[in-house]
Amino acid sequence: MSKNVVIIGTQWGDEGKGKVVDLITDKASSVVRFQGGHNAGHTLVIAGKKTVLHLIPSGILRSNVECLIAHGVVLSMSALIEELSELEASGVDAAKRLKISPACPLIMPYHIALDNAREAKRGKSAIGTTGKGIGPAYEDKVARRGLRVGDLLDLKSFAEKLGEVMEYHNFSLSNYYGAEALDYNSVLAQASEQAKTIVPMISDVTEQIHQHIASKQNILFEGAQGSLLDIDQGTYPFVTSSNTTSGGAVTGSGVGVTDIDCVIGIVKAYTTRVGGGPFPTELPYDVASDKGDAIGKVLGTIGCEFGATTGRQRRCGWLDMVGLKRSFNLNAVTGICLTKLDVLDSLESIKICIAYELNGKQITTPPYDVRDYAAANPVYIEMPGWKKSTIGIQSFDHLPQQAQDYIRKIEELSNLPIDILSTGPDRDETLILNHPFDE
């Protein structure tokens, strides 16, 4: 029996999706990336060697897996070509197994210029975007003025469309943001050269997916960012520009809702967030000054919590079941993959947020208004730590009893099974209790 499995992050991103996708593609024929752009950073560690992917699906390191970039992804040609070069330099012939939908919106240099100009103008109210041009590219898609990968097939027509859209955006850059306008000829020349690499990979990805479904092949749909950053359901406006929930796998790849068989939610054993926005369980710590919460320091330094895309320090805090339960509902999660358990190994005690206190009342669902979310105070339960290493443990029964208790408490609070347990960064440092592609 074949399965179509969706992997999504259930928190604010950086949960460890890349490792899990790479791991379970041992039983998949193809991996589909369905939203976001190169603002994602998926880190894979295999036999101690680290690979960071931003656009290319995380199944690329398995030679028998086809990798598909579907139309829900906004594509930077520069970023993709750089990523391909890095993979090929390490012996991975990625271009032969990568296909790109002609409907993918292109991220162009003026999108990046706009992204950075807007953040600069917002000042202290900046959202904390990655500055990669993701949001402006999605805006052009919705406004129906964006250039798409398929436009590269006719460079004469592409040049005409580019002229129109650049006139529009250069006016905004110069006259509203006070930024430098971009040169049309330079942008066109760069895109024309990049098209030579991109065009051979163009394919009807949606049709390929349906052919795989018809031939009973296992397909893995890979999300980027985290569910609490969803443009509709996240902590707006401190969100990304796409639908990061499991529904995005349907709209971003062209499959039907009944084509999805199960949804694996990746949960970090604590919580992190990059950029601005509310974070009730945060334990603030600043690496540069070495000041702040002692537990926050442990989580951030032991967990190596720096963005794979931006290098920015992530904000760290205790596990937040209030946000997680909302996320599980939004995604129809069927099973959990718990990552970075080993980061908690040295702690005397561990807290789990089970409710928020807001305006004198306890609530168990996150507020929609971002101001209320920011004002919410966490209500915790506390559990003893295990003070032993869990790195690389290959049997659940061999975990310290307190670690087992922590895992079972998460299952109890979420009413979901933990199917996969990550006990270290390497591919092999993982316990698969229930493989998503097995019956």
Residues with catalytic function: 14, 42
Whether the upstream peptide bond of residue 57 has omega within 30° of 0, thus cis, is no
> Beta partners for 390?
none
Cα–Cα distances in Å, from 291 out to 119, 166, 276, 296, 297?
A: 27, 45, 19, 10, 8
Give CA–CA dist 123/432, Å, rounded.
45
Burial of 80: CB neighbours in 10 Å, binned 0-12, 13-18, 19+ = buried
Q: Longest C-alpha distance within the chain, in Å?
A: 66
φ, ψ of residue 370 in degrees (nearest 5) = -65, -25
Length of the chain: 439
| Contacts of 368 by beta carbon, 8 Å cutoff, 6+ apart | none
| Contacts of 167 by beta carbon, 8 Å cutoff, 6+ apart | none
Give CA–CA dist 32/34, Å, rounded.
6
Nearest to 161 by CA among 146, 173, 171: 146
φ, ψ of residue 13 in degrees (nearest 5) = 90, 175
Element (H, E) at 18: helix 17-24
The full DSSP string for 92-129 is --GGGGEEE-TTPBEE-HHHHHHHHHHHHHHGGG----
Contact 343, 314 (CB under 8 A): no
Nearest to 69 by CA among 89, 95, 43: 95
Burial of 186: CB neighbours in 10 Å, binned 0-12, 13-18, 19+ = exposed
Give CA–CA dist 327/322, Å, rounded.
9
Structure tokens, 130:
């990655």
Strands of 262-404, DSSP E: 262-268, 271-273, 285-286, 291-292, 315-317, 319-320, 335-339, 349-358, 361-363, 377-384
